[in-house]
């Protein structure tokens, strides 16, 4: 054994207190030493450093000496008590008790040392959460140990260790998810604003006059256009699943053969109710006979957006043409039309002969393009608010649960 360090001023008083504590708690003048202590000093059974903190309620026979006396509490019982008290730090019942300078017991705390009194380490044991160290263990008070109270340096609860770590990680992941969704909504808002700016710029340009000349789809998209020609109702088709004021229906699309050419442009004439979508019922809307002038907005062809989107069945010998389509896929529609179609279709706004003709009820032309920004900004604020509420609520919850610990 190495030479013991210089004894603190309170050693004599503590040894006397230990003897008194053993007399009252252990029913004897000396205390049994721990199993891992082989009595390195003659006074080990009376010195404070070698004693157990938690005496057992029952007497038992010492297998070494055969003496029936009160021994220390089993570790498993102590750990269950600690777990029941909802503590994060484990206390080791089979290690001897010693306190830092000055070596005193404080409420809710113990300090344990390795064999020989070296390597002091502390573990907080809060069987009850006293806010201060004013209240000492009852037995220690009776034995005179609590002459004065100086608290030991306890490890403060932290949300980044112990049983709080998993909860903190979960909250952090949720906050990251909410912030990501908020940033995504802001990105969508930026894309919507950019699209609105493009639409405004294109619609302020002078209208295009369509002919049989080649048309570049990209710069012509969303441009106003005017075309003269004749409708070919034999190639009329409809677009499925279109609504107007939440009423189900379809859009009627008819190729308009451009005057003086063999080229045609597909024209979206507008919406009709679903019950009138049958080819026989649609015949009543074929009022534009002969050469007409149509104005509207050019739109790009619509490809299938993904594998989960509904697909139009392929054409074949048993299905030479489709009457109802899910989208305006001009390359696919071209397969059943005997003449060339322009790569864009025209969303009809009104006819030039509207002043000379009675206002038709159906097909109802599509309204002007809405330039709304949508609810992206509101959704972004909502997700950011969720992240702030979660973080603030968790912080408040942690402080409430660890207050006084």
Using one digit for the tens of pLDDT, what is the confidence trace for 133-161?
434 444 343 333 333 343 434 467 888 88
Amino acid 66: pLDDT = 73
Show Cβ contacts of residue 102 under 8 Å, excluding neighbours closer than 6 positions.
8, 10, 148, 150
In this model, does residue 110 exceed pLDDT 70?
A: no
In this model, does residue 361 exceed pLDDT 80?
A: no
Average pLDDT over residues 50-79: 67
Amino acid 291: pLDDT = 92
Amino acid 9: pLDDT = 54
Query: Which helix (H) or strand (E) element contains residue 55?
Result: strand 55-61
- Of the given ranges (36-45, 67-76, 125-134, 283-292), which has the lowest mean pLDDT? 125-134
**Distances from the Cα of 383 to the Cαs of 117, 188, 397, in angstroms?**
56, 14, 21
Which residue would you say has higher pLDDT here, 56 or 45? 56
Using one digit for the tens of pLDDT, what is the confidence trace for 228-282?
999 999 999 999 999 988 899 999 999 999 998 889 999 999 999 999 999 999 9
In this model, does residue 40 exceed pLDDT 70?
A: no
Which DSSP symbol is given to 131? S
Look up tokens 């920004």; give the residue.
373
- Best-predicted range by mean pLDDT (54-58, 100-104, 231-235, 281-285): 231-235
Q: Which sequence spans correspond to the domains of the chain?
A: 11-142, 223-302+320-356
Using one digit for the tens of pLDDT, what is the confidence trace for 296-338?
999 999 999 888 899 999 998 999 999 999 999 999 999 999 9
Q: Which CATH number fits domain 223-302+320-356: 3.30.980, 2.60.40, 2.60.220, 2.40.50?
A: 2.40.50
pTM: 0.55
Please give the structure tokens belonging to residue 166: 């998993």
Amino acid 214: pLDDT = 83
Amino acid 89: pLDDT = 44
Average pLDDT over residues 173-189: 96
User: Mean pLDDT score of the chain, rounded to an integer?
Assistant: 75
Q: Where do the DSSP E strands lie in 116-164?
A: 121-124
Strands 237-244 and 224-231: unpaired
Query: Which helix (H) or strand (E) element contains residue 225?
Result: strand 224-231
Which residue would you say has higher pLDDT here, 358 or 214? 214
Average pLDDT over residues 66-91: 60
Amino acid 313: pLDDT = 92
Confidence tier at 294 by pLDDT (50, 70, 90): very high
Q: Where do the DSSP E strands lie in 233-357?
A: 237-244, 247-258, 263-273, 291-300, 324-325, 340-341, 344-351
Distance CA 107, CA 125 (A): 9
Amino acid 238: pLDDT = 95
Nearest to 89 by CA among 118, 119, 122, 56: 122
Which residue would you say has higher pLDDT here, 70 or 317? 317
Question: Percent of the chain having pLDDT more than 70?
Answer: 61
Distance CA 27, CA 278 (A): 103
First to last CA, the chain: 38
Average pLDDT over residues 124-129: 36
Which residue would you say has higher pLDDT here, 287 or 232? 232
Amino acid 173: pLDDT = 96
């Amino acid at each position: 054994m190495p030479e013991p360090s210089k004894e603190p001023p309170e050693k004599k008083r503590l040894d006397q207190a230990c003897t008194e504590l053993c007399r009252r708690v252990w029913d004897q003048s000396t205390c049994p030493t721990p199993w891992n202590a082989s009595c390195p000093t003659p006074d080990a059974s009376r010195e404070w450093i070698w004693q157990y903190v938690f005496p057992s309620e029952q007497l038992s026979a010492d297998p070494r000496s055969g003496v029936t006396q009160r021994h220390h509490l089993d570790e498993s019982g102590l750990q269950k008590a600690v777990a029941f008290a909802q503590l994060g730090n484990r206390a080791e019942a089979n290690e001897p008790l010693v306190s830092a300078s000055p070596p005193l017991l404080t409420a809710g705390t113990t300090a344990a040392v390795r064999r020989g009194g070296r390597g002091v380490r502390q573990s907080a044991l809060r069987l009850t959460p006293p806010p201060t160290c004013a209240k000492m263990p009852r037995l220690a008070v009776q034995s005179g140990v609590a002459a004065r109270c100086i608290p030991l340096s306890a490890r403060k609860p932290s949300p980044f260790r112990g049983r709080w770590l998993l909860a903190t990680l979960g909250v952090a992941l949720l906050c990251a998810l909410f912030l990501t969704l908020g940033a995504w909504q802001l990105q969508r808002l930026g894309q919507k604003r950019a699209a609105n700016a493009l639409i405004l710029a294109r619609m302020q340009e002078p209208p295009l006059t369509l002919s049989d000349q080649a048309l570049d789809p990209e710069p012509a998209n969303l441009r106003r256009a005017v075309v003269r020609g004749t409708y070919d109702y034999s190639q009329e088709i409809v677009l499925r699943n279109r609504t107007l004021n939440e009423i189900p229906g379809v859009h009627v699309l008819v190729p308009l053969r451009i005057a003086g050419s063999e080229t045609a442009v597909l024209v979206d004439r507008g919406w009709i109710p679903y019950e009138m979508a049958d080819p026989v019922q649609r015949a009543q809307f074929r009022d534009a006979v002969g050469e007409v002038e149509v104005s509207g907005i050019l739109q790009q062809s619509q490809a299938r957006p993904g594998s989960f989107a509904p697909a139009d069945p392929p054409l074949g010998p048993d299905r030479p043409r489709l009457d109802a389509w899910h989208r305006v896929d001009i390359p696919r529609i071209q397969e059943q039309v005997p003449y060339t179609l322009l790569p864009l279709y025209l969303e009809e706004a009104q006819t030039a002969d509207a002043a000379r003709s009675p206002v038709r009820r159906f097909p109802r032309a599509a309204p002007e393009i809405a330039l709304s920004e949508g609810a992206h900004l509101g959704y972004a604020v909502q997700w950011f608010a969720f992240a702030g509420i979660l973080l603030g609520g968790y912080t408040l919850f942690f402080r409430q649960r660890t207050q006084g610990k």
